[in-house]
Chain A
């Protein structure tokens, strides 16, 4: 699959959330949220439960229609041009959903086929190598897989799809420190390839470790945005937002 548009140096953001407000029932869950993620950038969105993190991802996936504001994924409106937008997004949910009766490779082949690609076994093995899934597990049904193993399968799919935008929902929750480190290394490789990565997480320390920017979401609004590279005081941030984010 060919990448639509990626360039680590591109000034044009691949993910654009501009003044987006979104209601669910009578409740406003996103209120004038704005953020951008450029090619080759990792943006971490932090917040407590109900802050609007997953809703932001759902809106970018085109699952929810904003009441106002604009959304763009690689220059495409994900709501009105859902199929085209999906072709440019890889999405990693918090709980990776796979078909238990299929093997890891069969799951990958199926989802890739739905995305219009037909990777051969060698490509799948390379992607699974990159994701860190053991060779002997690849032809086993995923019903017996741990959360981390499932995550690796999903990461392999994201790698294989080679799309410009990667959306991650709590990607390291439930992973052991070793798997988390492997995952962060993989993110760094994807970032180097020019992928725009938006991850929502509760993990401030993990986010500070790998993200270029961190946005803090509270009650549907981005209340602060920081750059770890600017030498932020993680401890102070943790005192300000960490407890709420971890809730």
Chain B
């Protein structure tokens, strides 16, 4: 058996005999197991609920009686974002960004301008999920078990004896690292089991699940390297523990909490209220589709009459009110899109700043990678908002087109005065069920992997840096004897 394996095997034996190590490992595994079960149950319950509500909303929309199409525009429709299967592993920003949007004419509702600033990373702190256990708690347990790996040998004098037996610093670091890596592997087991279950039973995509497993394994490997390095160069176990706890607090708590605030300070985002007021102000500038005397819509009227070669809207072959609604919706939607793009761009810049902090905190890099692979990152939320808005626009314009084509201008103008006209503007309810249901298209595999790439690259950089430091620690360990 190689010297490194002998050292590793002995370290395992020592860990098995350490009450602290046994207790810490048991508690972590218990937490990870509970987190796995509760997270899967929570995700399944949420997804079932959303699917049920979506079906109910679709049914209620389709089941509306004969109505004026514009009443249906204002009746609106709810859409729900389905939860990806891997959200059971890492729910990401889902709990903070919302998952339901009420779609209606002339408005872009709900989370589109929601205050997502708190959701970037650490707002999730405290949710007991497999991802949280591995990102935050597992490194802490590794620190408590591993801080004395070499510092303890130095204090007890066994380090000198080991060297006198021909054990090289390289073999010693490798053996200690292997032992701690074995422990980290144990900690990873519940998460791996949950990922396997999600792939097999919940049809989660296999490749992102595998990439998640590799990412978390790499992250724990990084902690193993860090602990071995610090323990090798620390003067005594106490110094090693204090240094490692400081590193843990800095990289998994402090930097992930401060980074979003710094990003917000660097790229200010207006509040939801400020955005709503700005949109209202701009809406007034571009005109009001419900006001036929509005200058923009007066010009539109002139263009329309000219297009059809008539002099009065009453002579148009289509309902002018429907055309007005189509034009009004087009204008307001363009405005909403402009604001949404601006907001998305600000969030993207904030996200880039936060990602940059991954160079100071591998936890940030891992979280960004993890959420991207699970499909629960901010990009996934934006994807939902974009698709919901496209769907809203399509539904509203279908209804406006129905108003233009299935309702006459005369009936539309007299519907409140003439009961017969009022009856005729209520069109066949079969039209409602012709409106397609909302079908959310999640990110493709390639898109998920592309989104996860920056985080993975930063983690790899960390691993390379840690390997380089390990070599220096080995040299220093050799010189210190």
Contacts and interface: CB of A to CB of B under 8 A. Distances in A.
Contact of A99 (B1, B14, B166, B168): B14
B158 interface: yes
Given A99-B10, A113-B1, A114-B3, A82 B166 contact: yes
Given A98-B158, A101-B17, A113-B6, 17 more contacts: A61-B164, A63-B481, A83-B166, A86-B166, A91-B161, A93-B160, A97-B157, A97-B160, A99-B158, A102-B14, A102-B17, A106-B13, A110-B10, A114-B6, A114-B162, A114-B165, A114-B167
A232 B18 CA distance: 54
Given A110-B6, A113-B6, A114-B167, A101 B162 contact: no
Interface in B1-28: 1, 3, 6-7, 10, 13-14, 17-18
A10 interface: no
Contact of A86 (B6, B7, B164): B164
Interface in A3-43: none
Nearest to A101: B17
A145 interface: no
A97 B6 contact: no
B165 A111 contact: yes
A157 to B, nearest CB: 9
Most chain B CB inside 10 Å of its own CB: which residue of A87, A89, A93, A110: A110
Contact of B156 (A82, A97, A111): A97
Nearest to A57: B164
Main SS of chain A's interface residues? Answer: loop
A95 interface: yes
B163 interface: yes
Contacts of A110: 6, 10
Contacts of A83: 166, 168
A142 B183 CA distance: 25
Interface string A85-123: 011010101010111111000100011011100000000
B131 to A, nearest CB: 34
Interface in B149-200: 156-158, 160-168
Most chain B CB inside 10 Å of its own CB: which residue of A89, A100, A114: A114
A222 to B, nearest CB: 24
Nearest to B162: A114
Contact of A89 (B3, B10, B158, B164): B164
Contact of A114 (B156, B157, B166, B481): B166
Q: How large is the interface on A (under 10, 10 to 19, 20 to 34, 35 or more residues)?
A: 20 to 34
Q: Which 9 A-B pairs have the closest CB atoms?
A: A97-B157, A86-B166, A91-B164, A101-B17, A97-B158, A114-B165, A83-B166, A63-B481, A97-B161
A86 B160 CA distance: 12
Given A97-B157, A97-B158, A115 B166 contact: yes
A24 to B, nearest CB: 12
Nearest to B480: A63
Contacts, number: 55
A89 B166 CA distance: 10
B165 A86 contact: yes
Contacts of A98: 158
8 contacts: A63-B163, A63-B481, A86-B165, A89-B164, A93-B157, A99-B158, A113-B1, A114-B165
Q: How large is the interface on B (under 10, 10 to 19, 20 to 34, 35 or more residues)?
A: 20 to 34
Contacts of B161: 91, 93, 97, 111
A104 B59 CA distance: 77
A101 B14 contact: yes
Interface string A194-236: 0000000000000000000000000000000000000000000
A86 B17 CA distance: 30
Nearest to A115: B165
Nearest to A88: B166
A72 B481 CA distance: 19
Contacts of B6: 110, 113-114
A105 to B, nearest CB: 13
B358 to A, nearest CB: 39
A111 B3 CA distance: 11
Contact of A95 (B13, B157, B165): B157
A100 B168 CA distance: 22
A194 B14 CA distance: 37
A93 B165 CA distance: 12
A91 B14 CA distance: 23
Nearest to A100: B156
Interface string A60-83: 010100000000000000000011
B264 to A, nearest CB: 50
A102 B15 CA distance: 11
A82 B7 CA distance: 19
Nearest to A97: B157
A86 to B, nearest CB: 4
A93 B158 CA distance: 10
B170 to A, nearest CB: 12
A102 B166 contact: no
Contacts of A89: 164
Nearest to A111: B165
Contacts of A97: 156-158, 160-161
Nearest to A83: B166
A235 B157 CA distance: 36
Nearest to B155: A97
Interface in B450-481: 481
Nearest to B13: A102
Nearest to B7: A114
Interface string B313-327: 000000000000000
B205 to A, nearest CB: 45
A66 to B, nearest CB: 15
A109 to B, nearest CB: 10
Nearest to B481: A63
A122 to B, nearest CB: 22
Nearest to B156: A97
Contacts of B1: 113
